Amino acid sequence: MHAKVHGDEDHDSTVKLALPYWMKSFWGVRVAGRAGTAKRVYIMPIHIPRDMTIDEIQIFLETGSSGKSCRIGLYKDNGGTPNGGALLYDSGNISVATAGALVVNPTPIALTKGIVWAAVASEDTVQAFSADTGTYMPLKSTGSHPMFGGCRYDLGTFGALTDPCPTVTQDLYGRILFFVHVASVDD
């Protein structure tokens, strides 16, 4: 049985979700590895069509970096932006020595219908993550919601993600591809 992936169909909230189900960050298809910038946090929105609980987050590491780490996290939406949004999850340091799927299994996280912001912090410029082309976007990334096209902030030193999310800068190049696993639909 193939898992369904959210993001390529209409965002009609009346659609029933069948488990197993994966939600993905906005945008189109994987294009190539996006090299990290040291101490930079890349953030992408994930549309949550109904209240649900997630229990896994994945990104794909295209290029590893021996002895280095990344961190994966989630921020609460704050009116169409991660700015000021509470940190819902921080994975702690994850080794990026070997390319492949990076999987974290947080204590299940209850999410409400709307937007959640997925984040990855890069320790160096060698590691590279799967990113999207940006050829398809279900929500407008200009006007009142410019951060839907991807955004970022910089850490002073590599470590814990900032809580709450600081002011971000739009970054249309940092469209890291995130997946979250839906453990249950709660509405």
Examine the pLDDT at 146 and tell me if it is beyond 60.
no
Task: Answer whether 170's CB lies under 8 Å from 149's CB.
Answer: yes
Q: Does 174 fall in a domain? A: yes
Give how many domains the chain has, as a whole number.
1
- In this prediction, residue 17 carries a pLDDT of 55
Q: Does 124 fall in a domain? A: yes
- In this prediction, residue 134 carries a pLDDT of 56
DSSP helix/strand/coil, 146 = helix
Q: Does 8 fall in a domain? A: no
| CATH at residue 92 | 2.60.120
Asked which of 15-19, 89-93, 149-153, 167-171 is least confident by mean pLDDT, the reply is 15-19
Task: Answer whether 158's CB lies under 8 Å from 94's CB.
Answer: no
Q: Does 62 fall in a domain? A: yes
- In this prediction, residue 138 carries a pLDDT of 47
Q: Does 140 fall in a domain? A: yes
3-state secondary structure 34-102: EECCCCEEEEEEEEECCCEEEEEEEEEEEECCCCCEEEEEEEECCCCCCCCCCEEEECCCEECCCCEEE
- In this prediction, residue 132 carries a pLDDT of 75
Q: Does 47 fall in a domain? A: yes
Asked which of 1-15, 45-59, 84-98, 170-184 is least confident by mean pLDDT, the reply is 1-15
CA distance 7 to 3: 13
Mean pLDDT within 21-34: 69
- Exposure b/e, 135-164, CB count within 10 A at least 16 = b: eeeeeebeeeebbbbbbbbebeebeebbee
pLDDT in tens, 83-127: 999 999 999 999 999 999 999 999 999 999 999 999 999 999 999
Q: What is the pTM for the complete model shown? A: 0.83
- In this prediction, residue 34 carries a pLDDT of 77
- What is the average pLDDT score of the chain? 83
Q: Phi and psi of 114, rounded to 5°?
A: 140, -125
Print the domain residue range for 138. 21-185
Examine the pLDDT at 168 and tell me if it is beyond 60.
yes
Q: Does 165 fall in a domain? A: yes
Q: Does 133 fall in a domain? A: yes
Higher pLDDT, 146 or 70: 70
